[in-house]
Amino acid sequence: MTRKHLGKASSNYSSASFKTLDPIPRALNSDSFGVDFWNAYEFTYLDKNKLPVLKVLEIAVPSNSKNIVESKSLKIYLNSFYKKKYIYQKDVLTVIKKDLDKITGSSIKVRFVNKYINEPDSINLNNTKLKNTPSNKILLFSGFRSICPVTAQPDFANIYILTEAKIDISWLNNFLVSYKDKGDFHEQCIEGIFSKINTKYEPKNLDIIGRFMRRGGIDINPVRSLNKKPFFTNFRFFNQ
């Protein structure tokens, strides 16, 4: 799998533009609705006085978009704003939305974040003594691990699940652990987990979010649901 930037020496951030962005065709799951939340914690641009403004940026990409964006290309693209001047914050967001709409083939949402929602209360699957999951309780599996299919570097996440189905916890834990040496992008991991649970248990309601740890100042958090309005939003489990 050849990518523009991933696994290669970094380009000059100041010369990055729309052409820097590297689209990856999305493998769609027709049974799910959802969104991918991208949090960029180190985004900066220049204000009208050419002074740096440091912001946290949230990008929400619909799960039915034509493409996703390779993460390193997005980092290089966002880092190019450090020497660009904008009088109004909304003008920065307008530029980013226009470029990401075009590269993803969808209508994304982008905003600056001042404070995140706190992590919801949950049952930790790693240490519970229950044999089956209780209905309609948020489940947490911590320490999820997968492998980047290009660089072979590990990615880590907390996985949250909400469903009325009673899932065998031993099976669920073993299934989630099975990803530890699997080479998949974040979005594909969550699509695969959603599809497996949905096929095996045929629940009426199913919501999953993967809260991945950040790399290079950005984390990617896919949400998948059987409902058009997913239960999970863009919370953080490290909220400092």
Low-confidence winner among 32-36, 39-43, 148-152 (lowest mean pLDDT): 148-152
Q: What phi and psi values does residue 75 have, to the nearest 5 degrees? A: -60, -45
pLDDT in tens, 46-100: 999 999 999 999 999 999 999 999 998 999 999 999 999 999 999 999 999 999 9
pTM for the model: 0.90
pLDDT at 29 over 90: no
Q: Domains in the chain, ordered, with CATH?
A: 19-112 (3.30.1130.10), 119-236 (3.30.1130.10)
Residues with a catalytic annotation lie at 148, 155
